[in-house]
């Protein structure tokens, strides 16, 4: 009799164990720097797709060389419900200042899911911030601060 009752328990345990990876979320596993940087650039495109929205923007360095960066945010639903984002919140040509954690590899990719913010450079209006704010004060290119 005991084995009859153990079979369903074992089957349930096996199903739960097999489904655990489906519920798990990937971590950044040390891919990003712990310190934050701020970049000012011009939006090229915004991809409001799951699981993470992405902003593609061009940043010009001191020598006049332009690099295309990607910024990873949370989900489009989070952006809509928490910040009121729509497809027209950021459009190509908009100048933004982004603060977040860059990839350790040096590739032009920045994480905006923690210690991050996005500011519209022209008006110095914050349109996004993570739950934990960056260590540095809000950067605003238009006011020189």
Residue pLDDT tens, the chain, 145 long: 555 555 566 655 554 454 444 444 455 567 788 899 999 999 999 999 999 999 999 999 999 999 999 999 999 999 999 999 999 999 999 999 999 999 999 999 999 999 999 999 999 999 999 988 877 777 665 444 4
- Going by C-beta distance under 8 Å and a sequence separation of 6 or more, which residues neighbour residue 114? 101, 130, 131, 132
Q: Is the peptide bond before 25 cis (omega within 30 degrees of 0)?
A: no
Assess contact for 112 and 98: CB atoms under 8 A: yes
> 49: domain range?
37-129
Tell me, yes or no, whether 28 lies in a domain.
no
DSSP-derived 3-state class of residue 63: coil
| The model's pTM | 0.75
Q: Can you give the pLDDT at residue 145?
A: 41
Q: Looking at the domain assignment, is residue 121 inside a domain?
A: yes
pLDDT of residue 144: 43
79: CATH: 2.40.50.140
pLDDT on residue 54: 97
Residue 70 belongs to some domain of the structure: yes
Q: Quick one: how far is CA 33 from the chain centroid?
A: 14
Structural domain includes residue 12: no
**Per-residue pLDDT, 4:** 53
Q: Tell me, what's the pLDDT at 143?
A: 44
118 assigned to some structural domain: yes
Q: Nearest to residue 116, comparing CAs of 24, 28, 34, 25?
A: 34
Which element (helix H / strand E) includes 144?
none
Let me know if residue 108 belongs to a domain.
yes
77 falls within a domain: yes
CA 44 to chain centre: 16
Position 23 in a domain: no
- Give strand pairing partners of 68: 58
Q: How many domains does the chain fold into?
A: 1
Please tell me the number of Cα atoms within 13 Å of 94 on its side-chain side.
19
Burial of residue 92 (number of CB atoms within 10 Å: 0-12, 13-18, 19+): exposed
């Amino acid at each position: 009799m005991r084995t009859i009752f153990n079979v369903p328990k074992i089957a349930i345990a096996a199903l739960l164990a097999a489904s655990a990876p489906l519920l798990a979320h990937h971590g950044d596993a040390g891919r990003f720097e712990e310190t934050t940087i701020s970049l000012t650039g011009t939006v090229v495109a915004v991809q409001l797709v799951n699981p993470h929205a992405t902003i593609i923007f061009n940043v010009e360095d001191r020598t006049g060389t332009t690099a295309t960066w990607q910024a990873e945010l949370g989900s489009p639903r989070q952006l809509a419900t928490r910040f009121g984002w729509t497809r027209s919140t950021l459009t190509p040509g908009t100048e933004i200042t982004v603060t977040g954690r860059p990839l350790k590899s040096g590739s032009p990719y920045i994480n905006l899911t923690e210690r991050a913010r996005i500011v519209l450079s022209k008006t110095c209006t914050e349109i996004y911030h993570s739950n934990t704010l960056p260590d540095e004060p809000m950067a605003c290119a238009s006011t020189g601060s």
